[in-house]
Amino acid sequence: MAIRKIREEGDEILKKKSRPVEEINDKIQELIDDMLDTMYKANGVGLAAVQVGVLKQVIVIDIEDGSGPYILINPKILKQKGEQEVEEGCLSFPNKFAKVIRPAEITIEALNREGKTHKIKAKELLAQAISHEIDHLNGEVFIDKIVPGTLEYVDPNKNNKQ
Ligand code: NI
């Protein structure tokens, strides 16, 4: 297990699409462990592999409600419903926060780290986090879809979740 370097704003890799994982081997398991370590160390609620420089469809999420961590490999959106306007940040955009419109509910299907397909129906913060992280796999970042005029720079000395 190791902390990996988080790619930040301006790094072109963040605009690239991630490829599906073909085999959940030891390298992918190590990637998942490192992503969890990196996310927790950075005080984040989610991280996509592209953010540590790996263009594979792997996401880790932990919204700290006791239900996680979620490991999502090759996730597919099955259904989205409604909208929520939410405050959002991203570990690749340190200290920047803005309002974004996310689906109120999202249903996805993904592989877990054992290679088993599972379905997740999420709402509120979990729906927001899943939507945000799946965007990363498509090379999309939240800063490009913010509600105009809502971007804020927050003092890094404060302990904010991203
Ligand atoms: Ni992000």
Q: In b/e form, how buried is each residue of 51-88, taking b as 16+ CB within 10 angstroms?
A: bbebebbbbbbbbeeeebbbbbbbbeeeeeeeebebeb
- The pTM of this model reads 0.94
Q: What is the pLDDT of residues 109-120, one digit of tens each?
A: 999 999 999 999
Confidence of residue 1 (pLDDT cuts 50, 70, 90): confident
Alpha helices in 15-138 (DSSP H): 26-41, 124-137
What does pLDDT average to over the chain?
95
Confidence of residue 155 (pLDDT cuts 50, 70, 90): confident
For this structure, is 124 an active site residue?
no
Domain boundaries, the chain: 12-161
- Measured from the Cβ of residue 9, the count of other Cβ atoms closer than 10 Å reads 12
Q: Residue 111 C-alpha to ligand 1 middle, in angstroms?
A: 20
- Ligand 1 is an ion; its neighbours by CB within 5 Å are 90
Q: Identify the CATH assignment for 12-161 out of 3.50.50.60, 3.40.120.10, 3.40.1190.20, 3.90.45.10.
A: 3.90.45.10
Q: Residue 78 C-alpha to ligand 1 middle, in angstroms?
A: 21
Arithmetic mean of pLDDT, 130-149: 97
